[in-house]
Structures are given as structure tokens and as C-alpha cells.
Amino acid sequence: MTQSSLDLAALLCSRLCHDLLSPVGALNNGLELLAEEKDPEMRKRCMELLEQSARTSADKLKFFRLAFGAAGGFGEQVLVDEPRALVDALVSHNARVSVNWTTLPKPAVKVLLNLAMIGMDALVRGGTLDIGAESRDGASEIVVRAAGAKIAFDPEIGRALDGSLDPDGLTSRTAPAWMIHQLASVRGGGVQFALSDEALVMGAVLPEA
């Protein structure tokens, strides 16, 4: 494993830890409140918050396991229902974002999941996430469109997506985008994006051979 691969792995781990810090911290706070609270109604509320935080933590772990790791083994194919369930579970914790699915083939699941994560992060005021993918002419074509009142998109993430970012400048925030670029490039494909005031559109083409 090269030093750049180790650095990318470390940054992806940092991103995972960053996203888990909030729900895990809420679990810790909830347990402390539960230990001190005597009122039955408040204890019931504490338990509800603990259950919600536990579900959020589990959903994020499942998402990152497939998006960053080797969930499902090292084969080329992943069952269609799994990535859909993971994205829908994450979005269910944010009432301001809704997801529309079109066709979803099995290839290039890691790229799709990471593009979906970037799209969700961009919808700071809520909105709609449209996700589509198909196999055509021996390649997987993936499109993710995030549309909302305000789109928050770091230019550094854009440079990581198109490969123009210096790898030495990677952070935990840009590492997933750089991984998408690498996954596409190693297969002879590519990643593009377009940003406007109303929407962020990202696309990837990955030859399947």
C-alpha cells in the first residue's frame, strides 16, 4: 500500500468519525440524563432520543461500510436493494430532504453512494435528491442531482471530483470525492459536475469491463 493510499484511508476514517460524533455524542448525553432523571415522562423521552441516536449511528455505519469499505465481499456485483436502503435510511433522519430513485443497476455502488452523500451535504436547507443509474454500451452511467433553496458546495470538493486537486491537500471532507475520482479513473471513466444557484448535478461514467 502506497503512502497516498494510507493517507486517503486515514482521511476517509476521519470523515466517518466526524459524521458519527454527533449521534454517538447524543447517546452519551442521553445516558447521562437518564441516570439523573427521575420523572417517568422525561425518562421516556430520554429513551426515545437514545433509540433515535442508536438508529442514526447504525444507519451511518452501514452506509460507510459499503461506501468506503468492503461490505458484501470483494466481488463486482452488489444487490440493488442494499444501496437504496442505505441512502433512504440516512435521508429519513432529515425531514427536509427527500429522495427520488430512478433505475438502479448493480455496478459502481461505491461511486453512487459517495455522490449521494455529497449531494445530501449540499442540501443545507433541505431539498430533493434525484438519483439515477443505468448500464449502457458496456459502462455504468450515474447521475445525482441535489436541488434546493441553497446549495452548499465546497470548490475543493469539485476539484477532488475532477482530479485537479493536489492529493497533498486532501482533507477528510474532500477524501470521499477524491476516492470517487480514483474509482472512475482506474476503470478508464470519469466524473463531472455542474453547479448553479438551484442545483448541483454530478455524473460519473465507469466502464464495466
Q: pTM to 2 decimals?
A: 0.67
Query: Which residues 6+ apart lie within 8 Å of 81 measured at CB?
Result: none
**Grid cell listed for 114:** 459517495
The letter for the amino acid at 197 is: D
Tens-place pLDDT, residues 161-196:
999 999 999 999 999 999 999 989 988 999 999 999
Alpha helices in the chain, H assignment, sequence order: 3-36, 40-68, 81-92, 109-122, 155-162, 175-185
Distance CA 84, CA 80 (A): 7
**pLDDT score for 146:** 97
Alpha helices in 134-174, H assignment, sequence order: 155-162
8 A C-beta contact, residue 72 and residue 66 = yes
pLDDT tens, N- to C-terminus, the chain (209 residues): 566 777 888 888 888 888 888 888 888 888 888 888 888 888 888 898 899 889 889 888 888 887 887 655 545 555 557 778 888 888 888 888 888 875 544 547 889 999 999 999 999 999 999 998 887 888 889 999 999 998 999 999 999 999 999 999 999 999 999 999 998 998 899 999 999 989 999 999 998 76
**pLDDT score for 39:** 87
Which one of 1.10.10.10, 3.40.50.720, 3.30.565.10, 3.10.450.40 gives the CATH number of domain 3-207?
A: 3.30.565.10
8 A C-beta contact, residue 209 and residue 42 = no
8 A C-beta contact, residue 176 and residue 12 = yes
**Grid cell listed for 143:** 447521475
Distance CA 80, CA 143 (A): 16
**Grid cell listed for 80:** 440493488
3-state DSSP assignment of residue 138: coil
**pLDDT score for 99:** 83
Q: Is residue 196 packed enough to be buried (19+ CB in 10 Å), middle (13-18) or exposed (0-12)? A: exposed
Distance CA 113, CA 116 (A): 5
What are the sequence ranges of the domains in the chain?
3-207
